Amino acid sequence: MQNGALDVILQQWQRIISLLHNWFDGCGDTAEDADRLFPKCLHSTLSLSAKAIAHEIGGLQNDALRFGLQGVKSDIVGSHPLETSYQSARKTQEEMKKRILADTYGTAFPLKMDLDRQILSRFHRPAGAIPSSMLGLEALTGSLDDFGFEDYLNDPRESEPFRPADMHHGMEVRLGLSKGPVCPSFL
């Protein structure tokens, strides 16, 4: 198992344990009851990060044979100031929408929507000529009604440096065996 995947699993277990501690505190039971159910050895095991050698089976992201030569300009130049303000405004709008839904339908409804969003954002087609449109996620977030410039401009299939996707590398990335973008044109 790779170091990154193990860190994600450890974070999820730590979150579960902290939720159980909070639940025991809310029920009037003591945190010692939670420690009895989840002994300290489990806490120490989860708190330590896995000591593993960072090694990718499928190669590195800067593999010039697989992904081509990369430029440094995108690493140096930051995003446009309007882009950051747009993202922060969208984030506050989503938080306000979650608060309104929690007040209207209860606190479980926004949690259910977050779970649905996580499930729908993970669904992908296998790498190939037809990319996944994420229709379910767009329907859930309401972005089907928005028609932005990204819908008719900047189609990656119409660009000059477009290279077709490597099916084997795409599946390696999807299964966690390799790192890097699924398609070399997405660099």
Per-residue pLDDT of 27-61, as tens digits, reads 554 555 555 555 554 544 444 444 444 444 444 55
Burial class of residue 67, CB neighbours in 10 A (0-12, 13-18, 19+): buried
Secondary structure letter of residue 19 according to DSSP: H
Per-residue pLDDT of 106-116, as tens digits, reads 999 999 999 99
Flag whether the pTM goes above 0.85: no
Burial class of residue 168, CB neighbours in 10 A (0-12, 13-18, 19+): exposed
Token readout for 61 is: 């992201």
